[in-house]
Amino acid sequence: MFNFGIWTSEFNNFLMGFLPEWATVLVECVVIALLVLLTYTVLALFYILYERKLCAWFQCRLGPMRVGKWGLLQVFADMFKILVKELISLKDTDRFLFKLAPYLVITSSVVMLACLPWGNGLQIIDYNIGIFFILAVSSVGVLGILLAGWASNNKYTLIGAMRSGAQMISYELSLGLALMTIIVMSGTMNINELVWAQDKAWFIFRGHIPAVIAFLIYIVAATAETNRGPFDLPEAEHELTAGYHTEYSGIHFGFFYLAEYLNLFIVSGIASLMFLGGWMPLHIPGWEGFNNVMNYIPSIVWFLGKSFFVSYVIIWFKWTFPRVRIDQMLSFEWKYLMPLSLFNLILMAVIVAFGWHF
């Protein structure tokens, strides 16, 4: 399997040939930041079109078709429209917090994006406590949403922000327990080690029933964590107009919009990492010929393909199930999902203790 780390090492050696070490690090940081921002923008635009086309397919229609061939340029037209719109500041808002909120949300999703293992040798941030770091950074986005709802000085935005805070904090518990189930089996929180531990078989196959249950719990909790239907109560149009970002316009609204779609990719990428092997190809023990063929597929293709598949499932949920009430959503988490997650974690610990997993 090709190691992209060869390219990064050659680029580092090239810079070290005529620059001092501090300048080399500075140039590499700038290049990485530009690549992350470019990837962020391209992925967000792709996901907007991806969901529109899938929604149209579910509803037996074509979706956006006016701008460009098959409507492929529609998202660029929408992006240009957002960029040229006026930034409106309302009279009685807390202006500093009002402007700070979208940057907190976008910063949280950008940092999480940098933690994902895109391919063999393509990872920016790799800590020994990588999964814990991702969960910690994801909590910053909740602060941005709460600030947006409160600083807007609008009862609808405040209700939407409080709903979002309660929902995200609640379902973060089940999401964290589902990830902890896999960590107990793997014995590490290092992202790179998690991928290499699935060289023989992906965790969803190695972990028996608890791994499958953890995967299902994660999908449900991730759907709620990203405020997507049927758990999109913070943005319930028939109740709260547009929820916590009702008073935002222009690029500030665009930041919330982009972060929502990028969070969809990020939770899908984490699901790919923890349950489906990340960038690791599909390997079947004993099938060496098949495994060698799978190794020829670039690792970045494996990671993106798995992430797009999980995103498809989450989008499928949104356009299939009706929106639930806020009390039903919280009751489902505290009465059913979290107790099941705790029981599943204990079950996985027993399986690991007795060595019953593959």
Q: Is residue 14 part of a domain?
A: no
For the chain, how far is it from start to end, CA to CA, in angstroms? 24
- The predicted pLDDT at position 235 comes to 67
Q: Is residue 72 part of a domain?
A: no
Q: Is residue 44 part of a domain?
A: no
- Is pLDDT at 223 greater than 80 in this prediction? yes
* Tokens 């009706």 sit on residue: 322
Virtual torsion, Cα 111, 112, 116, 122, nearest 10 deg:
-10
C-beta separation of 219 from 314 below 8 A? yes
In DSSP notation, 84-151 reads HS-----TTS-HHHHHHHHHHHHHHHHHHHHHS--BTTB-S---TTHHHHHHHHHHHHHHHHHHHHHH
- Is pLDDT at 321 greater than 70 in this prediction? yes
- Is pLDDT at 94 greater than 70 in this prediction? yes
Tell me the per-residue pLDDT of 228-251, one tens digit each, with 9 for 90 and over: 878 777 666 666 666 777 788 788
How many Å apart are CA 186 and CA 132, to the nearest integer? 14
Q: Which range of residues forms the domain containing residue 308?
A: 93-354
Q: Is residue 265 part of a domain?
A: yes
Which pTM value belongs to this model?
A: 0.89
Query: Total domain count for the chain?
Result: 1
Q: Is residue 38 part of a domain?
A: no
- The predicted pLDDT at position 304 comes to 92
Helix (H) / strand (E) containing 270: helix 250-275
Q: At what angle do helices 250-275 and 130-151 cross, to 10 degrees?
A: 150
Q: Is residue 67 part of a domain?
A: no
Tell me the per-residue pLDDT of 248-276, one tens digit each, with 9 for 90 and over: 878 888 888 888 888 899 999 999 999 99
Q: Is residue 1 part of a domain?
A: no
Q: Is residue 219 part of a domain?
A: yes
- The predicted pLDDT at position 310 comes to 93
Tell me the per-residue pLDDT of 271-302, one tens digit each, with 9 for 90 and over: 999 999 888 888 888 788 888 888 888 889 99
Q: Enumerate the β-bridge partners of residue 119.
A: 122
Helix (H) / strand (E) containing 221: helix 208-225
- The predicted pLDDT at position 64 comes to 83
* Tally of residues, the chain: 358
Mean pLDDT over each residue of the chain, to the nearest integer: 85
The dihedral built from the CA positions of residue 164, 166, 171 and 172, taken in this order, carries a sign that is positive
- Is pLDDT at 4 greater than 90 in this prediction? no
Q: Estimate to the nearest angstrom the gap between the alpha carbon of 9 and the chain centroid.
A: 28
Query: Could you give the C-alpha distances from 255 to 29, 82, 105, 200, in angstroms and in order?
Result: 23, 10, 8, 40
